[in-house]
Structure 1
Amino acid sequence: MHKAELRRQMLALRRALPATEVSRRSTALLRQLQQHFEVVQWRWVHVFLPAARQQEPDTWPIIQWLWAEHPTAQVAVPVVQADGITLRHYHLTPETHLVESRWGIPEPTGATEVASAAFDAVLLPLLAFDERGHRVGYGKGFYDRFLTECRSETLCIGLSLEPPVPQITDVWLGDVPLHACLTPERVWWF
């Protein structure tokens, strides 16, 4: 299946989900993370903040769990830069002030920047993924560019409300594959 078609289908499917179902599936993603990953070994975790308008997985339960149960794992979140093509990453604490971006995404203000090379794990947003670990995002390439700046041992973990499709047919060389993807039912390893 081609990325453009997957984007259309998955956006429509996601927008049709009731908020209670997004919440239920998001909680299941947290359980998968808790059961299948050695989070205690992570020093820096990159987590996206959800765009509620897009019915993205709610990552706040993951963030709050990290703060409460793994205080040595520092959390950072992305901010799209003015050039519209790059991300910078900022330390997120319970005290961090957030403002909503033009895309409806909470972004930190006045927080300390964190280098891409610092991350032990990156939890990635996506619209779809396939059984080989390729993902479809919103099509801007933010995360593919960012992931090339991370260390080779940084875990790339997708968060998906839906199971994978068999194959994304128009993968290109710049697409950075996932190491794993959490779904409400299971973890897919690649």
Structure 2
Amino acid sequence: MALRRSAIFFINLNMKKSELRKKYLEKRMSLSDEEIFQQSEEIFRNFIGYFKPLPEQKVHIFIPIHKFREINTRFFIDYFFSRNIKVFVPKVVDTKLISVEIFKDTIFEYNQWNISEPVSNEDSGISDFDYIITPLLYGDGCGNRIGYGKGFYDRFFENISAKSKKIGVNYFNPDEIIDDVREEDVPLDYLVTPTEVLSFFNNGLE
């Protein structure tokens, strides 16, 4: 999988977060189950092909919210378990996003938002993840991301090692730039789509 350096000239339209959130949620909800499965697998293969994670590395990865048609991360998690890669997933406890280590026999339950989470509330305390595979509704060609507007990941990113690679995954390529980025918004380091891997270091101009 070749890496593309993202740069400003790849962007052709500026849009507000609210507009992009609505547009890309509608596009995602229109995907069929087969499309979600196939594109999730392609994203997984692009991630593995480029980053080549190793045994004993630490990966923080989300459990998909099925009603929002999120990317199927089971491909990733099964691969990580089979390669002895440590897996951590997010859980919201008292308005804070913590990181819980999971294993093949970890018990999950649905929270009040019908999101699958591990039963355990034990925060791993890990801050030096090798990879943080990050959910988003849209990511632009400058590394900016749009989530659901709660800011959980921006606050989570503030407390992790600068060496941790923040990697967004999305079905769609970055065709618009987010016009109303805030100072507290933390950009991604990479974006993986079904067709490519993009790097955002120095806006791809290094």
Q: Is the shorter-chain TM-score for this pair beyond 0.5, marking a shared fold?
A: yes
Q: What is the alpha-carbon distance in structure 2 between the residues aligned to residue 64 and residue 112 of structure 1?
A: 22
Kept after mapping to 2: 8 A contact 1:127/1:138: yes
- The aligned counterpart of 2:160 is 150
CA contact (8 A) 1:129 1:165 kept: no
State the partner residue of 1:168.
178
Q: Runs (4+) of structure 1 moved beyond 4 Å? A: none
1:25 maps to what in 2?
A: 39
Tell me how far 1:112 sits from its aligned partner: 4.3
- Secondary structure at the residue paired with 2:177? coil
1:186 aligns with 2:196: yes
- Structure 1 residues 49-128: aligned runs within 5 Å: 49-68=63-82, 70-71=83-84, 73-83=85-95, 86-110=96-120, 112-128=122-138
Measure, in 1, the Cα distance between the counterparts of 2:63 and 2:101: 12
2:29 corresponds to: 15
Residue ranges of structure 2 left out of the alignment (5+ in a row):
1-14, 201-206
Out of 36-45 and 130-139, give the one that drifted further: 36-45
Aligned positions, number: 186
C-alpha distance 53-167 of structure 1, shift in aligned 2 (>3 A): same
Tell me which of 35, 45, 48 is aligned to 2:62.
48
User: Structure 1 pair 111/44, CA: closer, same or farther in 2 (3 Å)?
Assistant: farther
Contact 2:171 2:193 in 1 (8 A): yes
| Cα contact 1:91–1:111 (8 A) shared by 2 | no
Structure 1 residue 8: Cα displacement: 0.7
* Contact residue 143 and residue 188 of structure 2 kept, 8 A: yes
> Is 2:48 the counterpart of 1:34?
yes
Aligned-pair CA distance for 1:103? 2.2
CA distance in 1, matches of 2:51, 2:158: 22
State percent identity of aligned pairs.
33
Letter in 2 for 1:53: K
Shift of 1:165: 2.7
Q: Taking structure 1 as reference, are residues 80 and 111 closer, same or farther at Cα in structure 2, changes over 3 Å only?
A: closer
Counterpart CA distance in 2 for 1:30 and 1:143 is 21
Residue 173 of structure 1 aligns to which amino acid in structure 2? E
Number of the residue aligned with 1:138: 148
If asked which structure has higher relative contact order (CA below 8 Å, sep 6+), I would say: 2
CA distance in 2, matches of 1:44, 1:182: 18
Name the SS of the counterpart of 1:90 in structure 2. Answer: strand
Tell me the SS of whatever aligns to 1:39.
coil
Partner Cα distance (2:165, 2:56) in 1: 10
TM-score w.r.t. the length of structure 2 is 0.86
